[in-house]
């Protein structure tokens, strides 16, 4: 008896760099939408996965596709080895199942990223294999033609005006919406903001507080000579990332956590990192906000960091620059040099400059009033040539801890952070408890009034920074 051929996916490690970064992110943006299978049997989920692998077999050597498949397994809750079945049998057993509609949409959309892919032939064969009705075939053909032309207005019209296709439309609704959001996102204008500071200014903590997640490593040893960018995408439920060396993609991860981010940050074979995800405190209804973290620069000692940062600032069209100044080291030569560089770079540009005096919590109010420190900082900035600079004093660390506590994430606090939380709360409450309701938030073994935390958070002035960043939305 002739042994039936089984479709097996090849190992996807070390694959050719076939996709562009944008295409990889498009792939990651689509991931995790198979809600139609949420209450289905394991057999249906395995069939979906097996058919998906079969239909997208030409992508198996594409960089990042292995990550997509792993995520699909997790989304479908398929644990352990998946039964490999002849695709002809899978097709035969799946004819008439509602999941074939989003399956074709998902597979075809990913395949459409390939410039040399014959979509028409693939679609014709796929529609014949699954015995789709003529009006269903026409629906898919028109859909992928519109996708090719990137006309999102026609895409919605196509979906809304389709007649006698209620079953198809109902089952592809979520996948269709995801694809629509991807195409819409790709057409948005972008707002680029660079964060620049000397070392030990709390820049990583500041960015983590800004994005509402602990992605950027905050240890001193983590400061390496590379640009790390993060793009806001409200439609994503995770943070994805791509790591580069030069123009070569070295790694791509569909889900980034702080451990992955730290490993990439410490890796000398990576010189640029790009993240994308829903940044809680940034809103991109009309534009994509991108935050660029430049290497912490101490101009007197680290020429490589200086070179990379200045080169980035000179060669990137920026809408705004946020200069972070350590309140404890105001007036140092490094701070002076960084201000001079920003002044020189921005002289003939129309970009906004925001100065942030960080670590204001470290000031001893008994020895020096924080208002006096702010005045000194403003005079210092003006001495370089900035007229009426916008200066905001804050504590990024306090902001981060307040927000994490309010978001129910205080379990992630270290013992030191639990202690710091109490100190920050007392400092920014300014001796004025604000609680009226009896709602409490637990931090370690202690409980604090939620209203007090909200009040203290407001007193950090961080909301002013967020408002400036989100301006134009």
> In the numeric block, which tokens belong to residue 350?
């129309």
> In the numeric block, which tokens belong to residue 385?
């040539």
The DSSP H or E segment spanning 455 is: helix 450-459
Q: Confirm whether 385 is domain-assigned.
A: yes
Residue with structure tokens 């079953």?
167
At how many degrees (to 10) do helices 65-75 and 21-30 cross? Answer: 10
Please answer whether residues 271 and 244 qualify as being in contact, where contact means their C-beta atoms are separated by less than 8 angstroms: yes
Confidence of residue 310 (pLDDT cuts 50, 70, 90): confident
Q: Is 135's pLDDT higher than 90?
A: yes
Give residue 10's pLDDT.
Answer: 36
C-alpha–C-alpha distance, residues 25 and 68, integer Å? 11
β-bridge mates for residue 390, sequence order: 354
DSSP 338-382: HHHHHHHHHTT---EEEEEEE-GGGS-TTTS-HHHHHHHHHHHHH
| pLDDT cut 70: percent of the chain above it | 91
Say yes or no: 26 and 165 in one domain. Answer: yes
Please answer whether residues 289 and 102 qualify as being in contact, where contact means their C-beta atoms are separated by less than 8 angstroms: no
Q: Confirm whether 12 is domain-assigned.
A: no
Checking DSSP bridges between strand 227-232 and strand 239-245, what pairing results, if any? Answer: unpaired
Please answer whether residues 68 and 27 qualify as being in contact, where contact means their C-beta atoms are separated by less than 8 angstroms: yes
Say yes or no: 271 and 208 in one domain. Answer: yes
> Average pLDDT for residues 186-194, to the nearest whole number?
92
- What's the total number of domains in the chain? 3
**CATH number of 353's domain:** 3.40.50.300
C-alpha–C-alpha distance, residues 80 and 398, integer Å? 43
Residue of 275, 261, 255, 258 whose CA lies nearest to 75: 255
Q: Confirm whether 80 is domain-assigned.
A: yes
Say yes or no: 119 and 59 in one domain. Answer: yes
Mean pLDDT computed over every residue of the chain = 86
Give residue 368's pLDDT.
Answer: 64
Q: Is 12's pLDDT higher than 60?
A: no
Q: Is 122's pLDDT higher than 80?
A: yes
Residue at which a domain ends, from 187, 213, 239: 187
C-alpha–C-alpha distance, residues 471 and 473, integer Å? 6
Say yes or no: 138 and 207 in one domain. Answer: no
pLDDT tens-digit readout, 57-81: 999 888 889 999 999 998 898 887 7
Q: Among 145-159, 213-227, 239-253, 347-361, whose mean pLDDT is lowest?
A: 213-227
User: Which of the given ranges, 12-21, 234-243, 307-316, has the highest pLDDT on average?
Assistant: 234-243
Q: Confirm whether 1 is domain-assigned.
A: no
Q: Is 379's pLDDT higher than 90?
A: yes
Greater confidence (84 vs 427) lies with 427
Task: With H, G, I as helix, E, B as strand and everything else as coil, classify residue 19.
Answer: coil
Please state, as a whole number, how many other Cβ atoms lie within 10 Å of the Cβ of residue 382: 13
> Average pLDDT for residues 109-113, to the nearest whole number?
91
Q: Confirm whether 14 is domain-assigned.
A: no
> In the numeric block, which tokens belong to residue 234?
């409200």
Say yes or no: 85 and 132 in one domain. Answer: yes
C-alpha–C-alpha distance, residues 442 and 448, integer Å? 6
Please answer whether residues 193 and 237 qualify as being in contact, where contact means their C-beta atoms are separated by less than 8 angstroms: no
Give residue 109's pLDDT.
Answer: 95
Say yes or no: 354 and 406 in one domain. Answer: no
DSSP 23-45: HHHHHHHH-S--GGGTTS-HHHH
Give residue 82's pLDDT.
Answer: 79
> Average pLDDT for residues 156-168, to the nearest whole number?
89
Say yes or no: 416 and 385 in one domain. Answer: no
β-bridge mates for residue 442, sequence order: 447
Say yes or no: 368 and 448 in one domain. Answer: no
pTM above 0.85, yes or no: yes
Say yes or no: 244 and 100 in one domain. Answer: no
β-bridge mates for residue 276, sequence order: 231, 240
Q: Is 465's pLDDT higher than 50?
A: yes
Confidence of residue 1 (pLDDT cuts 50, 70, 90): very low
pLDDT tens-digit readout, 286-299: 889 999 998 866 64
State the residue range of the domain holding 463. 396-473
Give residue 284's pLDDT.
Answer: 66
Confidence of residue 85 (pLDDT cuts 50, 70, 90): confident
> Average pLDDT for residues 267-279, to the nearest whole number?
93
C-alpha–C-alpha distance, residues 281 and 190, integer Å? 17
Residue of 382, 402, 392 whose CA lies nearest to 451: 402
Residue at which a domain ends, from 167, 187, 207: 187
Q: Among 283-297, 345-359, 434-448, whose mean pLDDT is lowest?
A: 283-297
- Phi, psi dihedral angles at 289 (to 5 degrees): -95, 125
Residue at which a domain ends, from 187, 206, 228: 187
Q: Is 353's pLDDT higher than 90?
A: yes
At how many degrees (to 10) do helices 21-30 and 100-111 cross? Answer: 170
Say yes or no: 329 and 238 in one domain. Answer: yes
Say yes or no: 364 and 336 in one domain. Answer: yes
Greater confidence (35 vs 355) lies with 355
Confidence of residue 410 (pLDDT cuts 50, 70, 90): very high
C-alpha–C-alpha distance, residues 222 and 239, integer Å? 20
Give residue 302's pLDDT.
Answer: 58
Q: Confirm whether 6 is domain-assigned.
A: no
Greater confidence (303 vs 399) lies with 399
C-alpha–C-alpha distance, residues 24 and 30, integer Å? 10
> Average pLDDT for residues 232-236, to the nearest whole number?
91
Give residue 251's pLDDT.
Answer: 93
Confidence of residue 25 (pLDDT cuts 50, 70, 90): very high
Give residue 226's pLDDT.
Answer: 87
Give residue 13's pLDDT.
Answer: 38
Q: Confirm whether 9 is domain-assigned.
A: no
Strand intervals (E) in 349-469: 352-358, 390-393, 440-443, 446-449
> Average pLDDT for residues 140-158, to the nearest whole number?
92
β-bridge mates for residue 253, sequence order: 241
> Average pLDDT for residues 367-378, to the nearest whole number?
81
Say yes or no: 293 and 428 in one domain. Answer: no
Give residue 35's pLDDT.
Answer: 73
Q: Confirm whether 382 is domain-assigned.
A: yes
> In the numeric block, which tokens belong to residue 80?
């352990």
C-alpha–C-alpha distance, residues 27 and 404, integer Å? 30
> Average pLDDT for residues 187-192, to the nearest whole number?
92
Give residue 15's pLDDT.
Answer: 42
Handedness of CA 65, 67, 70, 72 (dihedral sign): negative
- Phi, psi dihedral angles at 14 (to 5 degrees): 65, 35
Give residue 299's pLDDT.
Answer: 47
């Amino acid at each position: 008896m002739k042994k039936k051929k089984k479709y097996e996916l090849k190992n996807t490690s070390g694959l050719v760099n076939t996709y562009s970064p944008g295409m990889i992110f498009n792939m990651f943006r689509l991931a995790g939408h198979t809600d139609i299978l949420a209450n289905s049997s394991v057999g249906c989920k395995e069939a979906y996965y097996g058919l998906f692998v079969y239909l997208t077999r030409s992508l198996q050597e594409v960089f990042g596709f292995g990550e997509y498949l792993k995520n699909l397994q997790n989304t479908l809750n398929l644990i352990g080895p998946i039964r490999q079945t002849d695709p002809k049998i899978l097709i035969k057993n799946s004819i008439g199942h509602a999941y074939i509609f989003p399956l074709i949409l998902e597979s075809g959309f990913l395949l459409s990223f390939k410039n040399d892919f014959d979509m028409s032939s693939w679609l014709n064969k796929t529609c014949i294999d699954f015995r789709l009705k003529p009006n269903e075939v026409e629906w898919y053909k028109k859909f992928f033609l519109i996708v090719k032309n990137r006309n999102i207005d026609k895409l919605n019209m196509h979906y809304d005006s389709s007649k006698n296709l209620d079953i198809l439309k109902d089952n592809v609704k979520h996948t269709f919406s995801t694809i629509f959001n991807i195409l819409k996102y790709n057409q948005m204008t972008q707002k680029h903001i660079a964060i620049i500071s000397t070392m030990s200014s709390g820049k990583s903590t500041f960015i983590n507080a800004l994005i509402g997640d602990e992605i950027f490593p905050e240890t001193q040893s983590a400061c390496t000579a590379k640009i790390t960018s993060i793009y806001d995408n409200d439609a994503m439920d995770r943070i994805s990332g791509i790591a580069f060396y030069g123009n070569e993609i070295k790694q791509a991860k569909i889900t980034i956590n702080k451990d992955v981010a730290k490993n990439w940050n410490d890796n000398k074979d990576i010189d640029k990192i790009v993240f994308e995800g829903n940044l809680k405190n940034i809103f991109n209804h009309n534009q994509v906000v991108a935050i660029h973290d430049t290497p912490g620069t101490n101009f007197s000692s680290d020429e490589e960091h200086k070179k990379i940062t200045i080169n980035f600032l000179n060669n990137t069209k920026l809408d705004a620059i946020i200069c972070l100044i350590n309140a404890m080291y105001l007036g140092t030569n490094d701070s002076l040099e960084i201000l001079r560089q920003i002044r020189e770079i921005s002289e003939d540009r129309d970009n906004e400059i925001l100065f942030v005096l960080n670590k204001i919590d470290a000031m001893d109010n008994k020895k020096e009033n924080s208002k006096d420190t702010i005045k000194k900082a403003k005079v210092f900035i003006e001495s370089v040539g900035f007229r009426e600079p916008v200066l905001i004093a804050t504590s990024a660390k306090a902001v981060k801890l307040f927000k994490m506590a309010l978001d129910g994430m205080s379990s992630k606090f270290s013992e030191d952070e639990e202690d710091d939380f109490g100190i920050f709360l007392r400092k920014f409450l300014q001796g004025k408890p604000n609680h009226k309701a009896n709602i409490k938030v637990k931090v370690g073994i202690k409980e604090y009034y939620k209203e007090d935390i909200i009040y203290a958070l407001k007193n950090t002035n961080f909301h002013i920074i967020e408002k400036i960043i989100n301006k134009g939305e």
